[in-house]
Structure 1
Amino acid sequence: MAEGYVMGLREKIGHVPMVIACASVIIYDEQRGILLQKRADNGTWCYHGGSVEPNERVEEAAKRELFEEVGLTADKMTLYTVASGPDQHFFYPNGDEVHIVDTVFICKDFSGEMVLEQAEVVDCRWFAFDELPDEISQATRGPILHFAQEMLAKKC
């Protein structure tokens, strides 16, 4: 979760439910699959992303989060989906409750060396489209599984 705007609000309002605008990116390679990161806070796998800061474009937020979390730079991204609704209702381990509206991009055009932000990410690895981990974060499960199914269907 972003340390800026949202955390500042949390200091004032505590754990009450919030609707949060997020931006994320699914990094993929047609041969290697999807690059997922393992969250430090709850040990689940997810794509890369986080809260949008005031006056920040969602594209820039997704790129910023990717770089902050795993050290990669996204170049060309394509809008994939906007995830919202009951599947995006999430409780952080610290008790913060959120209803996420997540603008999700896909990207196969990226560069850089992986450097994990240890406070947020404990592992990062490639998963084949048909060999995804069971422990996928609830808030990212739908888009990840749907994208993997689309990629598998393309191979047929």
Structure 2
Amino acid sequence: MSSISWAESYLGQLRALAGDRTLLFVGARAVVRNTAGQVLLIERADNGYWALPAGAMELGESIAQCAIREVWEETGLTVTAVTPFAMYTGPDHTFTNMYGDTYQLFVVAFRVDTWEGDLLPSTDETTDAGFFPAEAPPAPLSSTVPETLDDLATFERTGQIVLK
């Protein structure tokens, strides 16, 4: 797997063409847990928030491949199996990022069922990474983390994909 720059990415190219229009952001988010049940969080290099590994899907990949690639790019871990558990798609999942770009999300959250490798504490996209108890995450924490972990708990309790 290789990383590409924002300008080379599908979303980066689309943003350059679309200007300040609201765009659909198709992407994936991943919950990686260790054997102790702790959750992997990354400290984002762009805004300093702690978040789950996540990012935009590229042309030519599936949404599951997107989740696997994002985990690898942001943590160095190789994901070998995932299960989708939630989709965030409604207009209430519209946000404007720190660059002033507005997106309506279509994000699929995946539980990482198996993974291997050694965690990289920093990458091109992260300044730190680690496993934390879900009830004691570091700060500042992305608002998507508690919602995603709650939705994973719902999925694991009910077996039903959470649709929002």
> What is the TM-score normalised by the length of structure 2?
0.79
Per the alignment, do residues 128 and 139 of structure 1 end up closer, same or farther by CA in structure 2, a change over 3 Å counting?
A: closer
Residue of structure 2 equivalent to 1:95: 100
| Correspondent of 1:8 among 13, 26, 34 | 13
CA–CA distance in structure 2, aligned partners of residues 79 and 13 of structure 1: 30
Of 108-117 and 123-132, more deviation after overlay is shown by: 108-117
Shift of 1:142: 1.3
Separation in structure 1 between the aligned mates of residue 155 and residue 12 of structure 2, nearest angstrom: 35
Q: Judging changes above 3 Å, is the alpha-carbon distance between structure 1 residues 112 and 86 closer, same or farther for their aligned structure 2 residues? A: same
For the 8 Å contact 1:20–1:100, the answer to whether it is kept is yes
Relative to the length of structure 1, the TM-score reads 0.83
Query: Does residue 72 of the first structure (1) align with residue 77 of the second (2)?
Result: yes
TM-superposition CA deviations, 1:65-87 (whole Å, max 9, x none): 11111111111111111122255
**What is the CA–CA distance in structure 2 between the aligned matches of 1:85 and 1:140, rounded to whole Å?**
18
Q: Which string of whole-angstrom CA distances, capped at 9 and with x for unpartnered residues, describes residues 31-57 of structure 1? A: 151001111122111111211112311
When the two chains are superposed, the root-mean-square deviation of aligned CA atoms in Å is: 2.4
Aligned residue for 1:76, secondary structure, equals strand
Once the two structures are TM-superposed, the CA of residue 24 in structure 1 deviates from its matched residue by 2.0
- Of 112, 123, 127, 1:117 maps to 123
Number of corresponding residues = 150
Look up the match of 2:40: 35
- 1:105-137 CA-to-partner distances (Å, cap 9, x unmatched) read 11141111223323x211111110221235322
Q: Is the 8 A contact 2:49 2:142 kept in 1?
A: yes
Contact 2:85 2:151 in 1 (8 A): no
Q: Tell me the residue number matched to 1:23.
A: 28
- Ranges in structure 1 where 5+ consecutive residues have no aligned partner: 152-156
Counterpart Cα distance in 1 of 2:155 and 2:98: 32
1:15-36 CA deviation, whole Å, 9 max, x = no partner? 3211111012110125151001
Distance 2:75 2:40 in 1: 10
Alignment correspondent of 2:159: none
Partners of 1:134 and 1:13 in 2: CA distance: 34
Ranges in structure 2 where 5+ consecutive residues have no aligned partner: 157-164
Matched to 2:109, the amino acid is: V
Q: 1:140 to 1:100 in 2, by over 3 A?
A: farther
